[in-house]
Amino acid sequence: MERAKRKRYFEQELFENLVTFGCNLQWHELMETCQKIGSANDASNLTRAVEMFLASEKKNPSEYPVDYICKHGDLDMFKTFIKLAKFDLDENQPILKNKLTPYAADHDNLPIAIYLITKMDMEFRISLFENCMAQRDQKLSRILQPFLPPEYSISDVNEINFFLKATNRFMQEIFSPDQNYVVVATKIINYLDVSSLFTCRSVSKSFKFAIDRETQLWTSIYNKQKDTLLEKLNKIDENAAKIKTRFPNQLGLIVASVDAIVFFTTQWKEIVEKLEDINNLEHCRLLIKKYHHLKNSVKVSHMPELDIMTFRKWIQEQRNDLVTPVSYCINKGDIELFKMILPHINIAVTEVTEEVPIIQKAVYSGNLELVKMVEPYIKLDAALYHGQNALHIAAQKGFIDIFKFLLEKAESANPRDNTNQTPYDVGTDEIKKYLASEYKSRKIGWYK
């Protein structure tokens, strides 16, 4: 009862303010109608519109509600206005074309502009577009183009990027299951690069449906991403073979480093082959993402002149730009790809070629799930930098969850580094507090 009383008081206050400022009488009529037939949602939307109108620094008291809402309101406010004012969109096509849609577009109110366009007959859309072109109104013409027949469709990739900045309701009519504009939708989709394609796909269910139905496009993109990646890896192999051919009698660092590079590329090529499932489009989409990022990470270092010193420099640069699949996943924190490659990778063999032990990389990542994933395949207590082990690193970094996990798995009862320090000695305050509590409850005596 008290809540209803406060509501009536608030509405009365809004009425009085509208009168005080001499506002257009249609605002009063809308509020009266809302009290009679409006829902709670309508009341909320109208109240927001009135408050925003009254608070506007540049308010024009004589401005009609529909004009103000098209310029500054949101789509919910506009739909409430249509309901309460009994504004028939079908019977007011000229007003939509000549007044409301231009208002919304000029004020960058895209949700309402797009909603009005989708309610507009095609002849009015074309007429509005032609007027825009004649008046050189680029803003509204760009918004209109996707909602026109194919002959009016977009032909500039920069225009496509404009549409990707719209809200979830943008291009709703084109990207819909009814396929009325499937030709236009397909043309737009084919302009998108990989990043924009996935961004557009995540906008809404209708966008996702329209994009996912382009099966040939996805297959083509997958093959392009895969082939580009393999071309890079094959080029690196060719360069490595040239070095071994040029210096067949060289031993030591050069041969070992070249073999390591070939090992990296071979592992990646095997992974690409084993993960491929061209008949599973969802799997292909996932791999497209991975290969897109990977091919940008893999660099083909420029081959120098045939001089042993410059070749050594090339080898080091190329090794720096190429990491094993395991290290790549750990460095990127890519759990998804890691789960996919684990069944096809011999981590023990990979460990031999790593300059930094895998457990050390995993702990430094701060990702507990990565540590858990590599744990079955490697020795957690292995000696690392200056005799430290994984517990020392987790303690230094303050990764409490990883530290707890490693502590449960630890084999050593006295993990001390080359300077005789324990994880407690090098740990953060949080780690020390945890170890002290464990000492009391479990009577562990090695921590200090």
**pLDDT tens digit string along 238-286?**
888 877 777 666 555 667 778 888 888 899 999 999 999 988 999 999 9
Per-residue confidence at 229, pLDDT binned at 50, 70, 90? Answer: very high
What is the identity of the amino acid at 413? A
What's the half-sphere exposure (Cβ side, CA atoms, 13 Å) at 159? 16
Q: pLDDT tens digit string along 168-203?
A: 444 566 666 665 667 767 777 777 778 778 877 776
> Looking at this protein, which amino acid is placed at residue 12?
Q
3-state helix, strand and coil shares in percent for the chain, rounded to the nearest 5: 70, 0, 30
What distance in Å separates the CA atoms of residue 400 and residue 352, rounded to the nearest whole number? 29
Q: How far apart are CA 428 and CA 283, in angstroms?
A: 42
Ramachandran area for residue 22 (φ above 0: left; ψ -120 to 50: alpha; else beta) = left
Q: Give the residue-averaged pLDDT of 100-123.
A: 87
Nearest Cα to Cα of residue 236 among 266, 194, 215? 266
Tell me, what's the pLDDT at 441?
60
> What pLDDT shows up at residue 444?
56
Q: What digits encode the pLDDT tens for the residues 123-168?
A: 888 888 888 888 877 778 878 877 777 667 554 444 444 444 444 4
Cβ atoms < 10 Å from Cβ of 229: 21
pLDDT tens-place string over residues 371-416: 999 888 888 887 787 888 889 889 999 999 999 998 888 776 567 8
- The pLDDT of residue 185: 74
| C-alpha torsion sign, points 349, 355, 360, 361 | negative
DSSP 150: G
Residue 80 scores a pLDDT above 90: yes
Name the fold adopted by 355-448: 1.25.40
Q: What is the pLDDT of residue 187?
A: 73
The domain locations on the chain are: 2-151, 214-322, 355-448
DSSP code string of 428-445: -HHHHHHHHHHHHHH---
- Work out whether the CA dihedral 96, 99, 105, 107 comes out positive or negative: negative
Contacts of 96 (CB under 8 A, 6+ apart): 89, 116, 119, 120, 124
